[in-house]
Amino acid sequence: MIGTARYWREIPQRYRYEAARCTACAHVAFPPRTLCAKCRGRAFEPCTLAGEGVVETFTVIRVAPAGYADEAPYAVGLIRLTDGVRLMAQVVDCDLARLAIGDRVRVEFRRIRQDGESGILCYGYKFVPAT
């Protein structure tokens, strides 16, 4: 469970997939950082992640953590986007028995979790089959 303030701070990344590209080496940091993990550069320009990619690997969660039990079983994948960035996210609307490494996926805006019955609703990115 994350707090409202932290969720709010992460809206640019969760909603709009905003990242930062190092002006020295073009490495893309998602979420944005103050120091480039590749060249230690400190100058970045804003960029937006590509909305499509492939499943590089994945696992199927059958015993889910609190708040996600109703969704089990569900897939969590490491997605390599067409711009080279990798990120972890749920892969939904797919047949778990047929989900495979190399499958093409695209991003969709989904509800990620809800803070109990009366708390805020948290939104963000998940991936769905590209076809």
Residues of span 34-63 touching other proteins by CB under 8 A: none
Taking CB under 8 A as the criterion, the residue among 2, 26, 61, 92 binding other proteins is: 92
DSSP category for residue 16: H
Least spacing, CB of residue 30 vs other proteins, in Å: 17
The alpha carbon of residue 89 and the mean position of all alpha carbons in its chain are separated, in whole angstroms, by: 4
Site membership for other proteins, residue 108 (CB under 8 A): yes
- Name residues whose C-beta falls within 8 Å of residue 71's C-beta, 6 or more positions apart in sequence: 64
Site membership for other proteins, residue 65 (CB under 8 A): no
Part in contact with other proteins (CB under 8 A); list of ranges 34-42, 54-62, 80-88, 117-125 = 117-125
Taking CB under 8 A as the criterion, the residue among 1, 3, 4, 11 binding other proteins is: 11
What type of residue is 24? Answer: A
Q: Which is nearer to other proteins, 80 or 126 (CB)?
A: 126
Least spacing, CB of residue 100 vs other proteins, in Å: 16
Taking CB under 8 A as the criterion, the residue among 61, 76, 78, 128 binding other proteins is: 128
**DSSP secondary structure of 20-46:** EEETTT-PEESS--SS-TTT----EEE
Q: What is the dihedral of CA 58, 61, 66, 72, to 10 degrees?
A: 120
Distance CA 25, CA 107 (A): 26
Taking CB under 8 A as the criterion, the residue among 4, 71, 88, 104 binding other proteins is: 71
Start-end of H helices in the chain: 4-9, 11-16
